[in-house]
Structure formats: C-alpha cells, structure tokens
Homo-oligomer: A and B are copies of this chain.
Amino acid sequence: MGIVHKFVGTEAAYDWEEVPEKEVGGPPEVIGVSGKVLVGPLDGAPNFRIRYFRIEPNGHSMLERHPHDHGIFVLHGRGIVRINERLVEVHPKDVVYIAGNELHQFSALDEPFGFLCVIPPK
C-alpha cells in the first residue's frame, strides 16, 4: 500500500491530505475538541491507529476510563493531563503513556493544545 499523508495545514490549523475527521463524542460540556485519523482503517492498518487531537483554549476532553491504552506525543500548545488523581502540565514533544483502565482527561491551557494519540485497533 504505502500511503503518504502530506501536511497541508498551517501552524494555526493542522491538516493533512486524505485524512478523515475523527468524530468526537461526549456530553455537551465537552467543547472544542476535534480530531483526525492520521493512520487507521482507511489506510488498511490492522495493528494500531494514530490520531491527531486539537483542544481549543480552556477546552477539555471527556474524563474517561476504558480498557485500551494511549500513547501521546504533544505537538503544540500547553495542556494538563490528568491520570487518575495526578495532574501534569505538558508541552511540545513531551510523551505520555496512559495504561488501560486509568482515568484520564486532557485540558488545554491558553493556546490550542494539539497532540498525537496512538491506540490499539478496535
């Protein structure tokens, strides 16, 4: 197959060629979270997915706990990652591993907070 998704965005709005939006669910109070599937089923990738998420300033993801794990690489902005009862401020190039069944949430500080998120296949 061999697929290249060229970056076609700007620093203010990341975007790639031929990459689908990731639908972001959650209750109405979860605002300002969007995502794209950089590597996933449309690429024929059976073993993992790589998604890009962007959280608008002062927004946050849902507080959640699920069996699958997350590998995170921060791309832009500053955010707070909650892992169980721990809060950590993270910056570009920081790496976070959240194991399965850990309670977690991502919050943006004063700029759009963007990161890669790797998960196993569904």
**Closest Cβ neighbor of A3 among chain B residues:** B97
Q: Select one of B86, B94, B99, B116 contacting A73, CB under 8 A.
A: B116
- A50 engages B93 (CB within 8 Å): no
Distance, CA A4 to CA B4, complexed state (A)? 29
- A97 engages B2 (CB within 8 Å): yes
Interface size on A, residues (CB 8 A): 45
- B97 engages A6 (CB within 8 Å): no
- B97 engages A43 (CB within 8 Å): yes
- A118 engages B39 (CB within 8 Å): yes
Q: What residues of chain B lie closer than 8 Å to A94, measured between beta carbons?
A: 4-7, 16
Distance, CA A43 to CA B98, complexed state (A)? 9
Q: How far is the CB of A115 from chain B (nearest CB, A)?
A: 11
Q: How far is the CB of A117 from chain B (nearest CB, A)?
A: 11
Given known pairs A50-B118, A83-B2, A118-B50, the reply for A92 and B7 (CB within 8 Å) is yes
A88 at the interface (CB under 8 A from B): yes
Contact with B along A10-39 (1 / 0, CB 8 A): 000010100100000000000000000011
Chain A residues 18 to 75 lying within 8 A of chain B, measured CB to CB, are: 19, 38-39, 43-48, 50, 68-69, 71, 73
